[in-house]
Amino acid sequence: MNVRYRVELSQAERDQLTDMLSGGKHAARKLKRAQILLAADRGVSEAVIAASVSVGESTVYRTKRRFVEGNLDLALSEEQRPHCGRKLSGKEEALLIATACSSPPEGRARWTLELLAGEMVKRTEHAKLSRETVRRRLKENQLKPWQQDMWCIPQVDGTYVARMEDVLDLYAEKPDRKRPVVCFDESPTQLIGEVRQPIPAAPGQPRRYDYEYRRNGTMNLFVFLDAHRPWRTVKVTERRTAVDFAQCMRDLVDIHYPGANVIRVVMDNLSTHGPGALYEAFPAQEAHRILQRLEIHYTPKHASWLNMVELEIGVLRGQCLDRRIGDRKKLTSEIAAWVEQRNNARARIKWMFNTEKARKKLAHAYPDPVKES
């Protein structure tokens, strides 16, 4: 560093660098070079600039040199580095991918970048391999072995297929007020209260709320959705016991569909969702009366996606419940307003999947029938 480079900016260049530092989106390294040039223009020494900008003195020197020997754009740009070939060959990269997709070493829950780098050193002739090299090659192949997703693998057998096609056939029927199809499910929701009063929005200022909140327990939502007409309702309860379920079925028969001959109800097969729940909640004669009006159709195990009301619950959470609601009274009133608005708008779930599509798209999952000998 024998040559001393002196930076003298024009007023236009100063304005350009000042504007860059005052706003906009720029790379951190580019902003640091702008700070270096402005400081050098004021006559600040390289050591002081390096300490104030948190870079090495060599970086200050190179930035000044690129400005003096070139121009402002060259000084602000990333200096081209000597080309270096890829650390891993194609064969070694394939080995890395295969290793990342395999089971981790004994005693470890999952692969990490360090573990993969060490494993590649063992399996190849590389003396060392950085975690950054491993990270880049995995990123190129869209692999993140430290991440895991939980999902449920259903057992697709004759019972699964029979229940699936039964529900899909119900959805495909024409509307019949005497024999309506109602989808039913339940969903828990938390009561979240504010510790401090939020500050309302104002021009140029979004609504602000404190990160701290108060958890006031949970409530349960029983959700009903007519599969063939634009109607839904939600019942808020403190629990979701068999007795609560039985009371919902009585509401369905006596309040929501008093003129129907039979109500076909689509639901999942929870332990509380059975005829026995009504006999636990009501006298035998009353339980029998209600069940005479119901025809229950269970979705397959691990196939809640077949219940149309699951989509409606998603809409409810996105449109109404995606905020802090701290007490049951407020929750009930807000949900009631949402239900009224959605019913008045005649909103419906547009169900596109049917039995014919199921047999085509899920043909590989259907059990093979036993051939007669």
Do residues 118 and 267 both lie within one domain? Answer: no
- Give the number of other CB atoms < 10 A from CB of residue 287: 20
H/E segment holding residue 53: helix 46-53
- Asked, for residue 134, whether it belongs to a domain, the answer is yes
Do residues 67 and 97 both lie within one domain? Answer: no
pLDDT digits (tens, 9 = 90+) for 341-357: 999 999 999 999 888 88
What pTM was estimated for this model as a whole? 0.62
H/E segment holding residue 174: none
Do residues 182 and 221 both lie within one domain? Answer: yes
Do residues 317 and 173 both lie within one domain? Answer: yes
Do residues 265 and 126 both lie within one domain? Answer: no
- Asked, for residue 145, whether it belongs to a domain, the answer is no
Find the helix packing angle between 28-41 and 57-69, rounded to 10°: 80
pLDDT digits (tens, 9 = 90+) for 304-339: 889 999 999 999 999 999 999 999 999 999 999 999
Do residues 99 and 30 both lie within one domain? Answer: no
Do residues 68 and 103 both lie within one domain? Answer: no
Tokens of 60: 């200050």
Q: Which residues span the domain enclosing 162? A: 158-196+212-359
Do residues 244 and 333 both lie within one domain? Answer: yes
Supply the mean pLDDT for the chain. Answer: 88
Do residues 164 and 35 both lie within one domain? Answer: no
- Asked, for residue 149, whether it belongs to a domain, the answer is no
Sequence length of the chain is: 373
Closest CA to 123 of 157, 88, 149, 147: 88
Q: Per-residue pLDDT averaged across 163-179, rounded?
A: 93
pLDDT digits (tens, 9 = 90+) for 189-232: 999 998 888 888 888 888 888 888 889 999 999 999 999 999 99
- Asked, for residue 367, whether it belongs to a domain, the answer is no
User: CA–CA separation, 231 vs 182, rounded Å?
Assistant: 10
Q: Are 66 and 76 in contact (CB under 8 A)?
A: no
Range in 143-147, 227-231, 254-258 with the lowest mean pLDDT: 143-147
- Asked, for residue 41, whether it belongs to a domain, the answer is yes
Q: Select from 76, 98, 113 the last residue of a domain.
A: 76
Find the CATH number of the domain harbouring 326: 3.30.420.10
Range in 63-72, 83-92, 137-146, 173-182 with the lowest mean pLDDT: 83-92
| Structural domains in the chain (count) | 3
Do residues 122 and 186 both lie within one domain? Answer: no
Confidence of residue 22 (pLDDT cuts 50, 70, 90): confident
Q: What integer pLDDT is reported at residue 36 of this predicted model? A: 92
- Asked, for residue 85, whether it belongs to a domain, the answer is no
User: CA–CA separation, 228 vs 232, rounded Å?
Assistant: 11
Q: What integer pLDDT is reported at residue 154 of this predicted model? A: 67
Do residues 222 and 353 both lie within one domain? Answer: yes
Do residues 187 and 256 both lie within one domain? Answer: yes
Q: Are 51 and 36 in contact (CB under 8 A)?
A: no
Q: Quote the DSSP letter at residue 234.
A: E
Tokens of 194: 């504010």
> How much of the chain exceeds pLDDT 70, in percent?
94
Q: What integer pLDDT is reported at residue 345 of this predicted model? A: 95
